[in-house]
Structure 1
Amino acid sequence: MENLTKILPTDDGYDEARIGFQLSHGHRPGLIVDAASIRDVREAVRHAAAHGHGVAVQNTGHGMPIGSDGGVLILTRRMDGVRIDPVARTARIEAGTRWGAVVEAAGEHGLAPLSGSTPHVGAVSYTLGGGIGLLARAYGFAADHLRSVEVVTADGALRTVRPGDDLFWALSGGRGAFGVATAIEVGLVPVAELFGGALYYDAGDVPEVLGTYLEWSRALPDAMTSSVALVPFPDVPGVPEPLRGRHAAHVRIAFTGPAEEGEELVAPLRALPRLVDTLRVLPYTDSATIHNDPPFPMAYHGSHAVLRDLTPTMIRDVLALIGPGSPDPAVMEIRHLGGALSVPADNPVGHRDAAYFFSMISQARLGPVHARFLDVLAPETVGVHLNFLYGENATERNVERAFSPADFARLRELKAVHDPDDLFRYTHRIRPARGQEQE
């Protein structure tokens, strides 16, 4: 351990290293290892195992599952290489790489990864957790395009696993519960540009916009991936003038078909009065402008549900709870699922038959409001998705709800084989079916 970059609770930079993007939740480990290589990761894992410490892993800290208390936190932020094979249409992505770097590198060859909406999110953890991105309805989950994983397991060994290996299956949706992924290889898709952008609507039009969006989304081709968010924009510099201080609906569009067809498809949405309309043909390297997510760290609390269907009554009740004019306004988002997301794949990513994803995010800790939000959605709820479980909602019960019962049982059995002492427990926790279970 003497050659590792170690950060202790008494050291300068400890708080900056442990918190990451998510300011509401943070690890408080006894030791932070700022890894620069696979060797560093292996040494850190061996040290943790030898001393009975749990292991947490962090790149950007967007989806903080639970905090470690006295364990070892491995930072992967310095392991940020990406290599594109344009002939094989693959990318090798190191553990600390963010999506923006992968998008830019792939774009030089007219290719795109199954990236998310935000370029500053870590690509590896996102992919291993499933990944519902900008091209989701056209190409499926990011995990469906995983080709191999280089992973340090609980014994400190480095393994490269591929389809057909039980550990590969577990990692392709089980995220960090089975080891520290130091690199992954993913397939890329031939998307150099798309028809996409954003449509913004004023608060007074929100009920009509959401009703129109719901009906519009029910008959779309798989090439159209879309979502709608309701956002209370602050009245501060940096927010575009038409949106500043408004509670606006934000429809996001990513269509991989011909632009002419895209124009025809969005006509019902454009028939409503708009504050901003940025729909255009854009290179995939500019795709982050569709969602335009804030790049700076913040505190937030989230709840979500994966739904078999969504009804106008549910939307009405959610608007009354957290919409414009409500006592506790919050960000809400509806994502249209289906399409290629419903195609079976040999991994444990669950709820492929779901039609919609519905979430709320609040800066304040509004526990009762989040509970009522989930109660509204309960009649159509089939489960959750792992990548959207963070903070207080990343409970073991919720982790189980991200998978089918059979797949979760298999994950626990594989956990007993590859991590029987539950070393990797400061994550979306999956306890081993047999053997010692650490608290």
Structure 2
Amino acid sequence: MNILRPGQDGYADEVAGFQTSVANTPAVVVAAETAEDVVAAVKYAAEHGLRVAVQATGHGLTEGTDGLLISTRRMTGVEIDAAARTARVGAGVRWGAVIEAAAKHGLAPLSGSSPDVGVVGYTLSGGFGLMARRYGRAADHVRAIDVVTPDGELRTVTPGADLFWALRGGRAGFGVVTALEFGLVPVTELYGGGLYFDTADLPSVLRVWRTWSMTAPDELSTSIALIPLPDLPMLPEPVRGKHVAHVRIAYLGQDGDELVAPLRAAAPVLMDTLKRLPFTESGSIASDPPHPHPYHGTNATVSALNDGMLAAIVEHAGPGAPVDTVLIIDRLGGELARRRVDGAGWDSGAEFVVRALSMVGDDGVETVRGAHGKLFEALAPWSTGRLLPFVYGEHDPAEVAESVFPPADLARLRVIKHRYDPASAFPAV
């Protein structure tokens, strides 16, 4: 265990995360290597009255801390039980490591679009990934959780326990998770990639994708992203400098070309990357940016996507919008609508989730919030809530919790929170 304070060598590297718009200036950083290190760190924080935060990769960072930060990025053990179809991973493991390890046994995890994201943070937020319409959330498949609670006790919690319920979807307010055990699925490859369409075709492509996705089989997970691409030489020439519509496909069936034929006919295709690919290459479908940067994002689940909503999306997040925004619409439904295992918070009645993500520039996060506010105000009449995995850069965890959890779930979460963390040392719920 390495203990660092401001000004010491290694402090800045330990504090830095993928999300750089949130200030993180802890008084103490504990670079944990084992669960015992985490126990010692939590007890130290309690003895000195310090608030506690935890970070592995920092992708979902919503608030910084001036207290004690536990860095778990060195806890990178991965164990695969092929017979049981399970994985056990340490707190610092990224999805890429699990994907590679599971693939050797003909298995795959319920990972998301980026293999660089940390397993624990993603899963504790619910975990909405590439095979969600077929298999549900990553949180639905968790078998056991090792967690150090605010009293400094290392516990293993399993289905049926209140703490297990709270952690599977309630995120970081209940302790520091040191290991997860979860189920894997028998997937080795998929039909995946994307279709890119030009700016002028955004309205028609949105309408075709909306109608097409409503009849999609559960084996298909799909989204459409409106992306302002810069005019840079490293980007493929057909899409360079354009505001494109990127239809993303992850399909577990065998008739992929037949299934996407209506999309290919929707408008001239600038670039087509669809093909069969091993699950180990699933990160290429969205090609999320690999480098840390400052961003702010929010979302809304919606019960429908009518033409008026699509027009509002193009107006507020398409070409000419006041703030460059990556706007992603995910098709929900399938197993996400049917499966509600023992875990907090999920809008099972929503048909789509609309996500907005923008870089935070010199004019600050308020400019981005204002632009996003206009978009989601236009969608408000059809909105049914928000999803925790897609809230980025907001600084009030309690306010976030009130917007993403149903009232009954939130009340139960707060009862459990008070039981395990009466001093509120960990992030609020």
TM bin, normalised by shorter chain, reads over 0.9
The answer as to whether partners of 2:301 and 2:354 remain within 8 angstroms in 1 is yes
1:375 to 371, 374, 377: 377
Show CA shifts across 1:138-170 (max 9, x none): 100110000000001111111111111111111
The answer as to whether partners of 2:125 and 2:388 remain within 8 angstroms in 1 is yes
The residue type paired with residue 390 of structure 2 is F
Shift of 1:325: 2.7
Aligned residue for 1:42? 39
Aligned residue for 2:264? 270
Inter-partner Cα distance in structure 2 for 1:292 and 1:5: 34
Show CA shifts across 1:324-345 (max 9, x none): 1333331111000010011222
Inter-partner Cα distance in structure 1 for 2:243 and 2:166: 41
2:331 to 328, 336, 340: 336
Inter-partner Cα distance in structure 1 for 2:391 and 2:11: 25
| SS of match in other structure, 2:191 | strand
Inter-partner Cα distance in structure 2 for 1:323 and 1:237: 23
Show CA shifts across 1:265-300 (max 9, x none): 211111121111111111111100100111011111
Structure 1's unaligned 5+ residue stretches are: 431-439
Deviates more, 1:171-180 or 1:399-408: 399-408
The answer as to whether partners of 1:19 and 1:25 remain within 8 angstroms in 2 is no
Aligned CA RMSD, in angstroms, stands at 1.3
Inter-partner Cα distance in structure 2 for 1:393 and 1:34: 24
| SS of match in other structure, 2:38 | helix
Aligned residue for 2:113? 117
Shift of 1:26: 2.9
Aligned residue for 1:301? 296
Aligned residue for 1:279? 274
Aligned residue for 2:24? 27
1:138 to 134, 138, 141: 134
Inter-partner Cα distance in structure 1 for 2:133 and 2:413: 26
Aligned residue for 2:354? 358
Inter-partner Cα distance in structure 2 for 1:287 and 1:168: 29
With normalisation by structure 1, the TM-score equals 0.93
The residue type paired with residue 249 of structure 1 is A
Shift of 1:393: 5.9
The residue type paired with residue 308 of structure 1 is S
The answer as to whether partners of 1:196 and 1:254 remain within 8 angstroms in 2 is yes
1:184 to 165, 180, 183: 180
Identity among equivalent positions (%) equals 51
1:65 to 46, 62, 65: 62
Inter-partner Cα distance in structure 2 for 1:177 and 1:370: 27
Aligned residue for 2:49? 52
The residue type paired with residue 324 of structure 1 is P
Deviates more, 1:386-395 or 1:168-177: 386-395
1:67-216 paired onto structure 2 within 5 Å = 67-69=64-66, 71-216=67-212
2:318 to 323, 332, 342: 323
The answer as to whether partners of 2:194 and 2:247 remain within 8 angstroms in 1 is yes
Inter-partner Cα distance in structure 2 for 1:392 and 1:65: 5
| SS of match in other structure, 1:287 | helix
Shift of 1:386: 1.4
Aligned residue for 1:436? none
Deviates more, 1:145-154 or 1:202-211: 202-211
The answer as to whether partners of 1:111 and 1:191 remain within 8 angstroms in 2 is yes
Structure 2's unaligned 5+ residue stretches are: none
Inter-partner Cα distance in structure 2 for 1:166 and 1:315: 41
| SS of match in other structure, 1:392 | coil
Inter-partner Cα distance in structure 2 for 1:395 and 1:413: 16
With normalisation by structure 2, the TM-score equals 0.96
Inter-partner Cα distance in structure 2 for 1:391 and 1:363: 11
Aligned residue for 1:419? 421
Inter-partner Cα distance in structure 2 for 1:327 and 1:348: 36
Shift of 1:17: 2.0
**1:310 corresponds to 2:305:** yes
**1:232 corresponds to 2:234:** no
Shift of 1:418: 1.3
Inter-partner Cα distance in structure 2 for 1:243 and 1:130: 33
Inter-partner Cα distance in structure 2 for 1:247 and 1:75: 38
The residue type paired with residue 49 of structure 1 is A
Classify 1:395/1:166 alpha carbon distance in 2 versus 1 (closer, same or farther; 3 Å). closer
Q: Which runs of 4+ in 1 moved over 6 A?
A: none
Deviates more, 1:9-18 or 1:176-185: 9-18
| SS of match in other structure, 2:394 | helix
Aligned residue for 1:13? 10
Classify 1:284/1:176 alpha carbon distance in 2 versus 1 (closer, same or farther; 3 Å). same
